[in-house]
Amino acid sequence: MKRLGMGLIGPGFVAAHHIDAVRRLGDVDVIAVAGSSQQSADKKAREYKVDRAYADYHAVIADPDVDVIHNTTPNYLHFPVVMAALNAGKHVISDKPLALNPDEARQMRDAAVAAKVAHAVTFNYRGNPLVQQARGMVANGELGDLSFIHGYYLQDWMTDPNVYSWRSDPTKGGATSALGDIGSHWCDLAEHVSGLKIESVLAELTTVIDVRYSSGVSAEAFSKGGSSERIAVETRSEDLGSVLLRFESGAKGCFSVGQVLPGHKNDLQLEINGSACSLKWRQEEQNELWIGYHDRPNSIMAKDPSLVSPEARRYTHLPGGHQEGWADAFFNVISDAYKWIREGAAPELKPAMLPTFEDGYRSNCLVDAMLKSHAAGGVWHKVEYFPG
Ligand code: SOE
């Protein structure tokens, strides 16, 4: 079997996990990385043990040994990088949010479909076996009619005002912070697991820390603020927010996001209540799925290949009691993307779990509706989305 070549553009926090995941596949070579300068690219190439380092992302895209581009750049570069890769006929795996706004994301979706290549967005929480177990249970009708879909995604790594990165800079991160960075994951998961689409939203957003102190160097996610000399920068994008949801089926929902909530590290929770039972999955305890009943004791399903459905089983890698984690779920998404590539990337062959640019575009539409709802004073706003 021909080995595939991978090229990575934008080596930040998550880049190492893209590289680990493709190396774990065993039949993909990490050919090259591109950074913002030759110096940073060389440094990352040494760190990741990659032979080729480029200062210009066009060079990775043009490299004939690269079949698949992984885009891990700051948000404002997603559009030019991904469009250049698609124009060159390369398969693309991009970080979320797919784009700065729905218009860009729609163009990226359309270009990917026209290029007939594989396209994926790293909504990586889908890759967890118990998320797929929950999705299967809902799809099989085991929950009955769904009434309420709710939860949160809370973090604390931006609590320190000395944490300043491109995410807080609207020219680089976009108009949104918490919603785009982590609310996008929650909404994707809620729609993916429930099988229902959010029809309209009502958002209340806040910027808790409205002045941050920049050292001039963009901080990686989860890095500490540090103590070098800094300049004050006003931040306008939300670091806290709550959103009410109406689903197309009539089901209701709500979720909160926050990046400045001490003690919450990567605290994503999704709960779905149906007429027959409820399900709850929490990222920080991802090897357990809570099942709630009205007329018998509640139970916990462990991530155990001998207990989960066959569809979920293929995303487990270890026997019951052997904890799997964030990187394993991330690997599952990358693995499905390469499976799709190997099989020719025809739309009908896409693995059901794999999030694509269609999902990335949809996510941009959801966040945009939330921003508009808040800007209008917290009123219901219909999601504007044009399926491909
Ligand atoms: C930072 O908030 C971040 O790294 C996100 O960008 C990721 O998508 C999420 O999985 C973990 O947190």
Q: Answer whether residue 8 is part of any domain.
A: yes
Statement to judge: residues 78 and 151 lie in one domain? no
Q: What is the pLDDT of residue 225?
A: 65
Q: Which residues of 362-388 are buried (b: 16+ CB within 10 A; e: fewer)?
A: bbbbbbbbbbbbbeeeeeebebebeee
Q: Indicate whether 44 and 142 sit together in one domain.
A: no
Amino acid at 13: F
Q: Are residues 37 and 108 in the same domain?
A: yes
Structurally, the chain folds into a number of domains equal to 2
Atom in ligand 1 nearest the alpha carbon of residue 95: 8
Rounded distance, CA 233 to CA 229, Å?
Answer: 13
Which tokens hold the place of 342? 């190997």
**For residue 164, what is the domain's CATH number?**
3.30.360.10
| 24 and 135 belong to one structural domain | no
Residues 118 and 133 in one domain: no
221 lines ligand 1 (CB under 6 A): yes
Residue 350: inside a domain: yes
Tens digit of each residue's pLDDT (9 = 90 or more) over 128-149: 999 999 999 999 999 999 999 9
- pLDDT score of 226: 64
Q: What domain range is 367 assigned to?
A: 127-320+363-375
In angstroms, the CA 124 to CA 252 distance is 25
Question: Within a domain: residue 224?
Answer: yes
- Same-domain pairing of 170 and 236: yes
Which residue's CA is minimally distant from atom 4 of ligand 1?
221
Alpha-carbon Rg of the chain, whole angstroms? 20
- Where do we find the tokens 């998961």? 189
User: So what's the pLDDT on residue 221?
Assistant: 72
For the chain, what is the largest distance between any 2 Cα atoms, rounded to a whole number of angstroms?
A: 63
Mutate to test the pocket of ligand 1, among 182, 185, 330 (most ligand atoms within 8 A of CB): 182
Give a yes or no: residue 386 inside a domain.
no
- Below-50 pLDDT ranges, the chain: none
CA distances, 17 to each of 8, 71, 217, 265, 332 (Å):
11, 12, 22, 18, 12
Question: For residue 148, how far is its CA from the centre of ligand 1 (angstroms)?
Answer: 26
Same domain assignment for residues 132 and 279: yes
One DSSP character per residue, 67-85 reads: -EEEE-S-GGGHHHHHHHH
Is residue 11 within 8 A of residue 35, CB to CB? The reply is yes
Mark residue 251 as left, alpha or beta (left: phi above 0; alpha: psi -120 to 50; beta: remaining): beta
Expressed in angstroms and rounded, the spacing between residue 142 Cα and the centre of ligand 1 is 31
| Shared-domain flag, residues 106 and 176 | no
Clarify whether residues 99 and 71 are in a common domain: yes
Pocket test for ligand 1, best of 14, 177, 334 (most atoms within 8 A of CB): 14
Contact (CB, 8 A) for 60 and 73? no
The predicted structure's pLDDT at residue 229: 79
133 with 260, same domain: the answer is yes
Minimal-distance CA residue to ligand 1 atom 5: 181
Q: How far, in Å, CA of 149 to CA of 255, rounded?
A: 8
- Specify the pLDDT at position 219: 67
- The verdict on 78 and 164 lying in the same domain is no
Are 218 and 304 contained in the same domain?
yes
Phi/psi-derived region of residue 216, left when phi > 0, alpha when psi is between -120 and 50, beta in every other case: left
Domain for residue 388, yes or no? no
H and E: helices and strands count for the chain: 12, 17
Mapped onto helix, strand or coil, the DSSP state of residue 26 is coil
Q: What is the CATH number of the domain that holds 80?
A: 3.40.50.720
DSSP-derived letter for residue 38 is: H
